[in-house]
Amino acid sequence: HDLSLAAQKALEYLDRLKNVPLNIAITGESGSGKSTLVNALRGIKKQNRGKYIHPQYPNVKIWDLPGVGTTKFTADKYLEHVGFEKYDFFIIVSCDRFRENDAKLAKEIQKMKKKFYFVRSKIDNSIRDEKDGDPELNEVNLLELIRDNCSKELQKLGFESPKVFLVSSLKLHLYEFEDLWKTLDKELPTHQRNVMLLALPNISADVIEQKKQALEDRIKWYTLASAAGAVVPVTGFSDAFDMALLLEFATECKRSLGLMPESLQNLSNVSSIPLEDLKAEIKSSLGTDQLNTTVMIKVLSKAVKVHWFRQICHFPRGRSRRSLQLQAE
């Protein structure tokens, strides 16, 4: 019964959504491909060490931790040393085989009631090396062999039915990174799952569709919140708009779908497709570099025209249809 209070609550909810923290720990021996995986998750090539903040989502932090075997600490003391409590889940990476230290660490994480996932990295290198020796090698059979070998190693180290994801950090759309995401999608709490989804590279059409649905789910909150600050009139609409919120939501969509200028540049860098060719594929006015009030009003006005055109086309001919045309004009 209080629209302004409801709008304020919607604003508070949207603010909380934007600030849900997500801390991902990636650990493994030196040279296992941790840093490359971290940067792939961030959609960039740049190499750093330590804490990586997502370039578009500062509430998402990915930590490149030293392998337990590279420190003087045992597995239990290692988790204490790196501050295990701040991480939401762990990815344990190996580029060849999982060793005793990996298993000890996983068991300690398990004791702390945190989630962990085994990733066999550099899978593209393994395929290339094997095919150099045997060009006729069946890739599917090779992947199955690598997976079985990893599982057997972990079974010997005390894991009954371990799940191992075969990943190429340079080609996340191939192999089993999407399977890893599907597992995280099921196991992460709802808000953290949505945070990771929107920050995730666009590895498949299914992921893009998931992002679209997650963004559509926020429309009702932006609609309610906009009631508090509707000040910009747009010809053809009976109500004014909170243009700042509209621009915020449109920018959020661009950011998540990888259409921001820096995201397109990063995509160009990792795909070797010229930046201008990528920009040429963007058809929506909202995908332009300069997203501002003028562009937004133009898009809204166009939407009004399309709405009235459809109404008139579906209305029976005669006097009432003419009234509708006059109203549209």
Confidence of residue 125 (pLDDT cuts 50, 70, 90): very high
Q: Report phi then psi at 27, rounded to 5.
A: -130, 160
DSSP letter for each residue of 230-267:
--B--TT-SS-B-HHHHHHHHHHHHHHTT-SHHHHHHH
Q: What is the pTM of this model?
A: 0.82
- Going through the chain in order, the beta strands assigned E by DSSP cover 22-28, 51-53, 60-65, 89-94, 115-120, 164-166
In the sheet that holds 115-120, the strands lie side by side as: 51-53, 60-65, 22-28, 89-94, 115-120, 164-166
Arithmetic mean of pLDDT, 106-129: 92
pLDDT value, residue 144:
93
From CA 213, how far away is CA 257, in angstroms rounded? 12
Arithmetic mean of pLDDT, 18-39: 91
pLDDT value, residue 199:
93
pLDDT of 92 higher than 90: yes
> Which residues sit opposite 64 in a β-bridge?
26
Q: Is the dihedral of CA 216, 219, 221, 222 positive or negative?
A: positive
Confidence of residue 5 (pLDDT cuts 50, 70, 90): confident
Residue with tokens 């920050």: 199
pLDDT value, residue 314:
61
What three-state secondary structure class fits 203? coil
Residue with tokens 């490359």: 36
**Residue 2 identity:** D
Q: Residue 33 to residues 67, 202, 302: CA-CA distances in angstroms? A: 12, 21, 49
**CB-based contacts of 325, cutoff 8 Å, min separation 6:** 312
From CA 99, how far away is CA 28, in angstroms rounded? 10
Residue with tokens 């399977």: 179
pLDDT value, residue 13:
92
Residues 218-247: tens digit of each pLDDT = 999 988 887 766 655 555 555 556 788 888
Confidence of residue 82 (pLDDT cuts 50, 70, 90): confident
pLDDT of 148 higher than 80: yes
Residues 206-215: tens digit of each pLDDT = 999 999 999 9
DSSP letter for each residue of 131-160:
HHH-TT--HHHHHHHHHHHHHHHHHHTT-S
DSSP state of 87: -
Residues 174-206: tens digit of each pLDDT = 899 999 999 999 999 999 999 999 999 988 999
